Amino acid sequence: MSQSTTIIIFGASGDLNGRKLIPALFNLYRKGRMPKEFTILGFSGTPYEHEAFRSMLHKKLSEFADYQFTDAEWDEFSRYIYYHTDKAIDPESFDRLKVELDRLEKGPANRLFYLATPPQFFPTIVEGIGRIGLTKEDEGWRRVVVEKPFGTDLESAKALNQSLHQYLREHQIYRIDHYLGKETVQNILYFRFANTIFEPVWNRNYIDHVQITVAEEVGVEHRGGYYDEVGILRDMFQNHLLQLLTLVAMEPPSSFKANSLRDERVKVLSAIRLMRHDKIWENSVLGQYRGYRQEYRVSPNSRTATYAALRLYIDNWRWQGVPFYLRSGKLLKEKSSEILIQFKQPPLAMFPIPEWYKMAPNILALCIQPNEGIHLRFEAKVPDTAYNTRSVNMEFNYQDSFGPGTLPEAYERLLLDALNGDASLFIRSDQTEISWAIIDPFIHAWESPEAPPLAIYEPGSLGPVEADNFIQHDSRRWLRAFGGHCCD
C-alpha cells in the first residue's frame, strides 16, 4: 500500500476548515503524527490562489488555534496545502478534481475525502467522486468523513445512508460526532471499565437517576438561518446528548475494537423506549430564549426550540426504571457539559439524626467541559458534632493531574483516527438511524399543530421554569450542572 496520503477537504473556504480542521491537522503535524508524505487539497467555490488560501488559513489559525506556534512552523506545514476552486454542483468539477489530484500525487496515494460542506451536498459529492472511480480502493485506501447533520429525521438519514452506500462500503464511511473526539468523553469508558470499583454499582440497584446536561452560553450567533430549520433536538440531542447517554449506559464491549464498541452502542440505543405520541408532553419540555426571533435570519414567528429537557427510559435489565434526564440549551448562564449520576439513599437511616434532616445522596459528576474532571460527593461526619453530616467531594481535575493544555481538540483525535483507519469514534449507519428513531417522535410531536407553546426563558438564565417543574414532578431537582465544581 502506498505511503502518501491526500486529504481532500470539500467546503474548504468555510468556517469549519479554518476553525477546526486546519488547526487540528497543523497540530498533528507539529506533534509528528501526520503521515510521512501527505498533501492537503482544499476544494470550494470561493476563488483563491494557493498562496491566498494559505494566508486566509493562517489568519484563522491565529484567531482560533488554542496553542502557540511560530511562523516558521506554519511556513513549513503550509507548503503541503493546495487549493482547487470549483463548484460541486457542476458534475464536471469532479473530472477536474481528478486531474488536479493526479498532478499533485504523482503516483498512487491514499485519499481521505472530508465533507465539510452544507449537508445537501453530501450525496452530490459522494456521487461525483464515486461515479469517476475516486472511491475505488485499488491503489490505496479511500475514506470519506461525513460531517453532521446526518439527515434531519429517520427517513432522510436512511436515504442518505443509501446514497452513500451506492459508492462506498460501510468501512469507508466515517460519520463524525465531535463529542466522541473529546478526551473527557472517551474517558467515560476508561472510568467505567479500567476500574473495578464503579461497575458493580452501575445499575438500577444503586443508581436513582442520571442527568446529562449540555448547556451553552452562546446563542445562535451568525447561524440563525441554519439553526431555525433545525432546532435543539436535531442539533444537539440526536447526536451529542445520545452519544453521552450511550457511553454511560452501554454494557462492557468484548474488545476495544471498532465493531465491538459500535455493537454495544447500538444495543443500548435499541433498548431506549420509543416515546408514544401521547406521552411526549409529560416527558419533555421545549423552550426558546427571549429575543431568539429577532436573531439574524430567524423567522419572526419562529417556533424553533433553543432549549429542551427530555426524560428517557432504557428498557433493559441494568437500567429498568431509572430515568435519564437530558437537557441542553443555548444562551444559558454558563457553558457546561456534565453527566451527573445520583445514587440511591442508604436503605436504612441508622444515625440518630432529627427527622427534618435529610442526608444528601451520593453524586458522581463526570465533567466533560470546561473544568474537566470527575467528582464524587459523599457524606462525612462534621467533626466535633454528635451526628451532623455534610457533603464533601473526592476530586479529579484534569488540569491538576495532567497539567494545563493537555486536552487536545476533539478534531485532532478524530482526524488522526480517520487517517489511521480506526472507526471506533465514528458512527455506524445503524447507530445514526436508531438515534433518529428515538428523537423523531419528540420532533414530530413538537412540530405538530397540537404542540403547546414553547417555554420562554431569559437569556443568561438556567433555562425555563417549566424545566424545573418537569423534574420536580418526579421529586427530583436539577443538580449542579452550571458552574465550576460539579457537586459542591
Q: Which residue is it, cell 414553547?
A: 454
Q: Is 266 exposed, middle or buried (0-12, 13-18, 19+ CB in 10 A)?
A: buried
**Based on CB atoms, which residue is closest to ligand BG6, 296 or 387?**
296
DSSP letter at 427? B
Give the integer Cα–Cα distance in Å for 99 and 483: 53
Rounded CA separation 211/477 (Å): 10
Instruction: Give catalytic status of residue 240 as yes or no.
Output: yes
Other Cβ atoms less than 10 A from the Cβ of 102: the count is 11
In the complex, the smallest distance separating the C-beta of residue 469 from ligand BG6, rounded to whole angstroms, is: 26
- Least distance to ligand BG6, CB of residue 220, Å: 8
Phi-psi category of residue 172: left, alpha or beta, with phi > 0 → left and psi -120 to 50 → alpha? alpha
Pattern 92-131, ligand BG6, x by CB under 6 A: ----------------------------------------
Q: Which of residues 339-378 bind ligand BG6 (CB under 6 A)?
A: none
Residue 30 or 148: which CB sits closer to ligand BG6?
Answer: 148
**Which CB sits closer to ligand BG6, 77 or 292?**
292
Per rule CB under 6 A, count of chain residues that contact ligand BG6: 4
Distance between CA atoms of residues 343 and 481, nearest Å: 16
In sequence order, which residues have a C-beta less than 8 Å from that of residue 151 and are 6 or more positions away?
119, 157, 158, 159, 160, 432, 436
The interface mask with ligand BG6, positions 308-337, x = CB under 6 A, is -----------------------------x
SS3 306: coil
Under rule CB under 6 A, which residues in 137-156 are in contact with ligand BG6? 148
Closer residue to ligand BG6, CB minimum distance, 80 or 179: 179
Closer Cβ to ligand BG6, 5 or 337, answer by number: 337
Q: Which is nearer to ligand BG6, 96 or 148 (CB)?
A: 148
Contacts of 429 (CB under 8 A, 6+ apart): 161, 165, 170, 173, 175
Spacing of C-alpha 248 from chain mean position: 14
Q: Where are the alpha helices (DSSP H) in 271-345?
A: none
Using H for helix, E for strand and C for coil, what is the string for 39-77? EEEEEECCCCCHHHHHHHHHHHHHHHCCCCCCHHHHHHH
Q: Which is nearer to ligand BG6, 192 or 223 (CB)?
A: 223
CB of 182 to ligand BG6, least distance (A): 7
Minimum Å gap between C-beta 232 and ligand BG6 is 8
Instruction: Check whether the bond before 452 is cis (ω within 30° of 0).
Output: no
Check residue 183 for interaction with ligand BG6 (CB under 6 A).
no
Q: Are 207 and 281 in contact (CB under 8 A)?
A: no
Retrieve residue 112's grid coordinates: 481521505
Provide the minimum distance between the beta carbon of 216 and ligand BG6 in the complex, in angstroms, as a whole number. 5
φ/ψ (deg, to 5) at 131: -60, -35
What torsion, rounded to 10 degrees, do the Cα atoms 161, 166, 171, 172 define?
-100
Q: Directed axis angle between helix 50-64 and helix 22-30, to 10°?
A: 80
In the complex, the smallest distance separating the C-beta of residue 252 from ligand BG6, rounded to whole angstroms, is 27
Q: What is the C-alpha to C-alpha distance for residues 84 and 50, in angstroms, rounded to an integer?
A: 8
- CB nearer to ligand BG6: give 58 or 330: 330
Place of cell 482547487: 84
Pick the closer one to ligand BG6 by CB: 462 or 465. Answer: 462
- The residue type found at 272 is I
Minimum CB distance to ligand BG6 smaller for 123 or for 181? 181
Q: Which residue has the cell 476563488?
A: 47
Nearest distance, CB of residue 114 and ligand BG6, angstroms: 16
Q: Which of 84, 240, 375, 444 is catalytic?
A: 240
Distance CA 371, CA 368 (A): 8
**Smallest gap from residue 63 Cβ to ligand BG6 (A):** 16
Shortest Å, Cβ 32 to ligand BG6: 26
338 contacts ligand BG6 (rule: CB under 6 A): no
Q: Verify binding: residue 235, ligand BG6, rule CB under 6 A.
A: yes
Q: Which of 3, 258, 14, 9 is nearest to 112 (CA)?
A: 9
- Minimum CB separation of residue 318 from ligand BG6 in Å reads 27
Q: 85-95 burial by CB neighbour count: b if 16+ within 10 A, else e?
A: bbebeeeebbe
The contact pattern for ligand BG6, residues 202-221, with x = CB under 6 A and - = no contact, is --------------x-----
Residue nearest to ligand BG6 (CB): 235
Kindly list the distances between the CA atom of residue 83 and the CA atoms of 5, 53, 104, in Å, as whole numbers in the listed order. 16, 7, 11
Task: By CB under 6 A, name the binding residues for ligand BG6.
Answer: 148, 216, 235, 337
Tell me the catalytic residues.
240
